[in-house]
Amino acid sequence: MAASYTGKVLTVDLGTGKIEAESVPDEVYERFIGGLGLGAWWLYTRMPAGADPLGSEAVLGFVPGLLTGSGSLFTGRWMAVCKSPLTGGWGDANCGGTLAPAIKRCGFDAIFVRGVSEKPVYLEVGNSGAVLRDASALWGLDAMETEENLVAAFGAAGGKKRPSVAAIGPAGESRSLISGIVTDGGRIAARSGVGAVMGSKRLKALVLAGTKPIPCADRAAVKANSLAFARSVRDFPLPPTGLLRLGGVLLRKLPWNLRFDGFLFGAVLGRLGTAGMNRLSVEWGDAPLKNWRGSERDYPARASRAIDPARVLERQERAYHCYSCPTGCGGLCRVDGRETHKPEYETVLALSGLLLCDDLEAVFRMNDAMNRAGIDTISAGASIAMAIELAEAGVLPKKALGDLDLRWGSAAGAEALLRLMIAREGLGAVFADGVRQAALRLGPAGGQAAGAPGAAPGPAGPAPGAAALEAAVHSGGQELAMHDPRNDPGFALHAAVDPAPGKHTVGCRLYYGMFRLWTRVPGAPKPPLLERKDRAFESGPESARAAVLSSDFISLFNGAGLCLFGSLYGADRLRFFETLDAATGWRRSPADYLEAGRRIQTLRQLFSLREGIEPKDVVPSARALGRPPKEAGANRGRSVPLEALARGYWEEIGWPEGRPSPATLARLGLAELEGRHGR
Ligand code: SF4
């Protein structure tokens, strides 16, 4: 029986041109699963502490998961892993499409790249090996033009099957700290500044064309699990999309939180895509509005038609699925005569509600521009919102503003600033690296920014200082996603304690209720179907246990290479643990698998600690925590007790003050790493 990994990774040194296939011991998979875990193990053991994230010692990894290609569902996700130039600690970004199986079909469980090439190159990998090719003619092209050129060149050279391509656009080339890596005509691994790391190496693209079989211990058993899940998915009749507003209003007005059901959520995703949740989210209080200072009252239905799911769907020409996905939340649309991806939930809200903008065509155009440039829509939207707030407050000098129409609701102003950010011109150069860098450039500590990666001088005029720092909404340097912790405080907790801060895909109370871990894991808390809303803000052993189990489960899921949306159907319905056993030939309990997830989470934390990140200092911006509380709207009067929640999480996971204790490391079999993560 062959387990579902190849046991080999491809390593490339762009400085020397050396390309090698290296073996990975079985023990690494048994302890760290693969995917995110393999990435964390490789970077922790191969990258020196204190390496410049944009320098030659930095390693950038492309990792599919343990279950990718096994016949398991939802395995079309891959991750980019690195030291984040945005946060200074562990960095990762997740993306769907076709790249994950393409890496495995080349015969590898991961591709790791280090060094800096003298000239732009791309890496081509196929059945017979890997080669670096000159990419000088591609440098300067956007990510989609790059993909089209590389696919055409591959075909012209006799390639038969369309290869999978991952590329950076101009934002990655210019090392924007909010740039990502683009695949499949506009899907993007957007977070942590992974595009800047690729750009710093002058690596324009990967072209993957392998056709090797992907191993699996018991493919028939994996497929039987997949089939059983597919048969169990209930086809909920969806109400007219207009009723989603009513649902959001109800959720806002009810005194309880509901435990959501993954089948219903999956039905919304499959029919409408992630943007199907936007209207409900705004009404409920999940969506941050007006740079986190507004409420649904600032964005009433008559002035926010851009977020209506039906209007987004009207523009869709066809739906699509990531590899091996039964849900299929993706869609291709046509805007201004060009095919473009349907914008996601996060994108629509970051470019509409966060800016109080109601121009859906502009959202589509900006989404397309960012997919081409290779820039994170969450971070860019947050940066534009910050600029608008500062412009409206009169603290951005008129000379710097020029004729930019930076006002709440002005799509023209947002689009113009985005163009400048991508080109790093004028005021765009100030905001091109996200909100923390912009605050440093604008504020009294502007001198520090001059030394920061990709730094640009601030505009002439009086320093806006405190206003800029306050308007920069992030956690640990990464812009917060479009989920308000004043509605679900779990988003603040995980955005603070996760080694890659600021992300929304690392845990919250809502997700935990959908994982249904209590059906498989002894002692896992089962949230009630209805829970008083104020209970969500209480710390205690049960909520800490749920939060830590969420981290364990999501880390494990990312090790296995599955889409987070798959996890929301519930581990039992997905037969996730059974599928791990079938694919690997291992026979492990769910608790044992979750311990591997905790090992991954702990190793990522050790990486960040080694880079000098102080966990207590990673705190989401005050306004996202309700400090002071809002006076109106869905989340009025609420403050997140972050310190108590974080204390509970750290106690439960065994990381006093965010630092894994010797006992924790010993229990996880990581004792050899004790003392190697600094203080
Ligand atoms: S649910 Fe959506 S993002 Fe997840 S794998 Fe399926 S198509 Fe991709």
**DSSP letters of 126-146?**
ETTEEEEEE-TTTTTS-HHHH
Backbone angles phi, psi at 518, to 5 degrees: -65, -15
- 3-state helix, strand and coil shares in percent for the chain, rounded to the nearest 5: 45, 15, 40
Q: Is the CB of 96 under 6 A from ligand 1?
A: yes
- 273, 129: one domain: no
Mean of the pLDDT values across residues 412-421? 98
> pLDDT tier at 371 (50, 70, 90 boundaries)?
very high
- 506, 379: one domain: no
- 393, 501: one domain: no
Ligand 1: nearest atom to the Cα of 76? 5
Backbone angles phi, psi at 605, to 5 degrees: -65, -40
> How many angstroms does the Cα of residue 266 sit away from the middle of ligand 1?
10
Q: Give the pLDDT of residue 674.
A: 65
CATH number of the domain enclosing 562: 1.10.599.10
> pLDDT tier at 13 (50, 70, 90 boundaries)?
very high
For residues 408 and 304, the answer to whether their CB atoms sit within 8 Å is: no
> How many angstroms does the Cα of residue 321 sit away from the middle of ligand 1?
6
Domain assignment of residue 150, yes or no: yes
How many C-alpha atoms does 36 have within 13 Å on its Cβ side? 34
Which residue spans within 265-356 are E strands per DSSP?
Answer: 316-320, 330-335, 338-341
Ramachandran class of 657: left when φ > 0, alpha when ψ lies in -120 to 50, beta otherwise: left
- 67, 18: one domain: yes
> How many angstroms does the Cα of residue 557 sit away from the middle of ligand 1?
14
- 196, 100: one domain: yes
Domain assignment of residue 485, yes or no: no
Q: Is the CB of 330 under 6 A from ligand 1?
A: yes
**Does 592 or 394 have the greater pLDDT score?**
592
Distance of alpha carbon 556 from alpha carbon 550, whole angstroms: 10
Residues 369, 374, 379, 381, Cα dihedral to 10°: 0
> pLDDT tier at 535 (50, 70, 90 boundaries)?
very high
Distance of alpha carbon 368 from alpha carbon 383, whole angstroms: 17
> How many angstroms does the Cα of residue 58 sit away from the middle of ligand 1?
30
- 322, 419: one domain: yes
pLDDT digits (tens, 9 = 90+) for 55-101: 999 999 999 999 999 999 999 999 999 999 999 999 999 999 999 99
Domain assignment of residue 397, yes or no: yes
Q: Give the pLDDT of residue 679.
A: 41
Which of 472, 498, 525 corresponds to the end of one domain? 472
pLDDT digits (tens, 9 = 90+) for 130-168: 999 999 999 999 999 999 999 999 999 999 899 999 999
- 149, 297: one domain: no
Domain count, the chain: 3
CATH number of the domain enclosing 114: 3.60.9.10
CATH number of the domain enclosing 457: 1.10.569.10
- 68, 179: one domain: yes
Distance of alpha carbon 488 from alpha carbon 273, whole angstroms: 22
The rounded mean pLDDT for the chain is 94
Question: Which of 422, 343, 349, 345 is CA-nearest to residue 385?
Answer: 349
Distance of alpha carbon 511 from alpha carbon 550, whole angstroms: 8
pLDDT digits (tens, 9 = 90+) for 475-524: 999 999 999 999 999 999 999 999 999 999 999 999 999 999 999 999 99
- 192, 52: one domain: yes
Task: Supply the residue whose CA is at minimum distance from atom 2 of ligand 1.
Answer: 329
Q: Is the CB of 323 under 6 A from ligand 1?
A: no
Question: Which of 58, 62, 22, 21 is CA-nearest to residue 39?
Answer: 62
Domain assignment of residue 223, yes or no: no
Q: Give the pLDDT of residue 259.
A: 95
> How many angstroms does the Cα of residue 586 sit away from the middle of ligand 1?
27
- 167, 18: one domain: yes
**Does 337 or 144 have the greater pLDDT score?**
144
Q: Is the CB of 74 under 6 A from ligand 1?
A: yes
Domain assignment of residue 639, yes or no: yes
Instruction: Give the largest Cα separation in the chain, rounded.
Output: 69
- 198, 270: one domain: no
Helix, strand, or coil (residue 267): helix
Question: Which of 406, 453, 588 is CA-nearest to residue 177?
Answer: 453
Backbone angles phi, psi at 304, to 5 degrees: -140, 45
Q: Give the pLDDT of residue 448.
A: 37
> How many angstroms does the Cα of residue 141 sit away from the middle of ligand 1?
28
Task: Supply the residue whose CA is at minimum distance from atom 4 of ligand 1.
Answer: 563
Distance of alpha carbon 310 from alpha carbon 108, whole angstroms: 42
Proportion of the chain above pLDDT 70, given as a percent: 96
Residue 529 has pLDDT above 50, yes or no: yes
> How many angstroms does the Cα of residue 345 sit away from the middle of ligand 1?
13
Question: Which of 456, 455, 506 is CA-nearest to residue 480?
Answer: 506
Q: Give the pLDDT of residue 451.
A: 34
pLDDT digits (tens, 9 = 90+) for 445-465: 443 333 333 444 444 444 457
Domain assignment of residue 214, yes or no: no
Ligand 1: nearest atom to the Cα of 273? 2
Q: Is the CB of 328 under 6 A from ligand 1?
A: yes
> pLDDT tier at 397 (50, 70, 90 boundaries)?
confident
Q: Give the pLDDT of residue 264.
A: 87
Proportion of the chain above pLDDT 90, given as a percent: 88
Q: Which residues contact 425 (CB under 8 A, 6 or more apart)?
A: none
> How many angstroms does the Cα of residue 263 sit away from the middle of ligand 1?
14
Domain assignment of residue 648, yes or no: yes
Q: Is the CB of 557 under 6 A from ligand 1?
A: no
- 338, 403: one domain: yes
Ligand 1: nearest atom to the Cα of 266? 1
> How many angstroms does the Cα of residue 346 sit away from the middle of ligand 1?
14
What domain range is 342 assigned to? 231-472
**Measured CA distances, 52 to 89, 309, 501 (Å):** 11, 43, 19
Q: Give the pLDDT of residue 233.
A: 85
Q: Which DSSP helix (H) or strand (E) runs through 388? A: helix 377-392
Q: Is the CB of 322 under 6 A from ligand 1?
A: yes
Domain assignment of residue 222, yes or no: no
pLDDT digits (tens, 9 = 90+) for 665-677: 999 999 987 656 5
Question: Which of 178, 3, 206, 22 is CA-nearest to residue 98?
Answer: 206
